[in-house]
Structure 1
């Protein structure tokens, strides 16, 4: 499993957490949002999911990956 931390702009509430973590789960990744830090810790299998797909899943929810 590959792990990375992404800086994400625009997250501010519980709905944001559910939205981002749910989107990552749907593509086969696991995400943990830290609202205070503005980050998402992501774990994913590089054989099944690319980092680009991870970023797209977050951005599709309306957030900006820095």
Structure 2
């Protein structure tokens, strides 16, 4: 299975609790090897073989809006 670096735009994060919630949700998605969340930039960077739609849904289930920015093969 191919591995990707996926950049997501995240809307609605206001504090470090939000960052932890989004990061935890992304890390629980099967295929995710690494997830980093940037509060100031309102973005998340994910590495692994996870499906983009599953990543977006995981963030949205935490109460935030998410959209795909870029995805590149590693």
Classify the TM-score, shorter chain.
0.7 to 0.9
Match in the other structure for 2:10 = 8
| Structure 1 alignment gaps of length 5 or more | none
Query: Could you tell me the TM-score, scaled by structure 1's length?
Result: 0.85
Structure with more of its chain in strand, by fraction = 2
Aligned counterpart, 1:55: 56
Q: Is 1:31 aligned to 2:60, yes or no?
A: no
CA-atom RMSD in angstroms: 1.1
Larger radius of gyration: 2
How far has the Cα of 1:42 moved from its partner?
Answer: 1.1
TM, length-normalised to structure 2: 0.77
Contiguous gaps of at least 5 residues in structure 2: 68-74
Moved over 2 A (4+): none
